[in-house]
């Protein structure tokens, strides 16, 4: 019987997938839903509490009380501004130890992982719970990149790795050799929406999404789902290239169905560390 799982629920669909996985395997869990980030519809009907990002004391106490032993951080949590943080004592001490202003998101999230571990919890990655959704090194669906798309993917890999090394973002859109857009904190949906207006005529671009080199992989793995495929198709994108072993495809069957309908390729690629 696996240990009880504490699910720290941020944005997007990932928390829902983790909850489903617990339910279908009969694993006990408890959800800490982050205010302003987690979707209330997802946590309704689960054992849960709501917590501010800055209220770690209460959340840690509750996770101990319900005897959660493992923790998974599921779904993005945008870093709060210093003014909005209103930290309790644990959170204040935590930020006191960090030079927060000198860290990117990955630096901050790695520190959050250490904080859980120092408090005696084991932190696991969402990919360890959603093993069937980890991107494999293969072509999904029936479309494949042509040579022009392959050239765009090469450029996208270079740019995404350079950005990731600087802890900026995980995604980039390249069309006909031109970098149309680069993701920082706006997220992939906003990147795709803007590329719709930036694309030029002719063969469409590619979305490349990788984890950051050296990224703490237990937090914020790059994730796509059916809605990513729909948004990409609407933006004139011809295909998605994702890091094999380093990203998640939520609901892969629906992703393939949507991609096949829209004529997009979905490619899992080995990326050297």
Contact between 4 and 66 (Cβ < 8 Å): yes
Q: How many residues does the chain have?
A: 273
92 scored as a contact of a copy of itself (CB under 8 A): no
Among 57, 88, 186, 251, indicate the residue that binds a copy of itself (CB under 8 A). 186
Q: How far is the CB of 236 from a copy of itself (least distance, A)?
A: 11
Letters for 194-223 (x = contact with a copy of itself by CB under 8 A, - = none) are: x---x-xxx---------------------
How far apart are CB 180 and a copy of itself at their closest, in Å?
Answer: 6
CB of 100 to a copy of itself, least distance (A): 6
Q: Which residue has the tokens 């991107």?
A: 135
Residue 100 within binding range of a copy of itself, rule CB under 8 A: yes
9 in Cβ contact with 31 (< 8 Å): yes
Site for a copy of itself in 225-264 (CB under 8 A): none
Q: Helices 226-234 and 188-198 sit at what angle, rounded to 10 degrees?
A: 20
- C-beta separation of 74 from 18 below 8 A: yes
Please identify which residue in 47, 84, 137, 214 interacts with a copy of itself, judged by CB under 8 A.
Answer: 84
Question: Environment class of residue 72 by beta-carbon count within 10 Å: exposed (0-12), middle (13-18) or buried (19+)?
Answer: buried
Closest CA to 111 of 128, 99, 120, 127: 99
Count residues near a copy of itself (CB under 8 A). Answer: 43
111 makes contact with a copy of itself (CB under 8 A): no
Using rule CB under 8 A, residue 130 touches a copy of itself: no
């Amino acid at each position: 019987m696996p240990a009880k799982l504490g699910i720290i629920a941020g944005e997007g669909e990932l928390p829902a997938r983790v909850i489903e996985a617990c339910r279908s395997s009969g694993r006990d869990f408890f959800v800490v839903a982050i205010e302003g980030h987690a979707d209330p519809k997802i946590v309704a009907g689960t054992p849960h509490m709501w917590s501010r990002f800055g209220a770690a004391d209460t959340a840690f106490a509750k996770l101990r009380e319900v005897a959660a032993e493992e923790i998974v951080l599921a779904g993005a949590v945008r870093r709060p501004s210093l003014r909005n943080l209103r930290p309790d004592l644990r959170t204040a001490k935590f930020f006191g130890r960090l030079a927060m202003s000198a860290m990117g998101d990955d630096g901050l999230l790695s520190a959050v992982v250490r904080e859980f571990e120092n408090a005696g919890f084991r932190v696991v990655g969402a990919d360890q719970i959603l093993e069937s959704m980890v991107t494999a090194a293969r072509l999904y669906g029936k479309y494949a990149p042509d040579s022009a798309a392959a050239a765009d993917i090469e450029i996208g890999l270079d740019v995404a790795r350079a950005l990731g090394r600087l802890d900026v973002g995980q995604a980039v859109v390249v069309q006909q050799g031109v970098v149309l857009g680069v993701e920082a904190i706006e997220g992939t949906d906003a990147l795709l929406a803007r590329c719709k207006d930036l694309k030029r005529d002719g063969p469409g671009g590619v979305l490349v999404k990788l984890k950051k080199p050296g990224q703490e992989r237990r937090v914020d793995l790059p994730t796509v789902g059916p809605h990513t495929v729909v948004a990409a198709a609407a933006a004139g994108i011809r295909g998605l290239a994702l890091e094999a072993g380093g990203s998640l495809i939520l609901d892969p069957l629906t992703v393939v169905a949507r991609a096949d309908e829209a004529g997009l390729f979905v490619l899992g690629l080995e990326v050297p560390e």
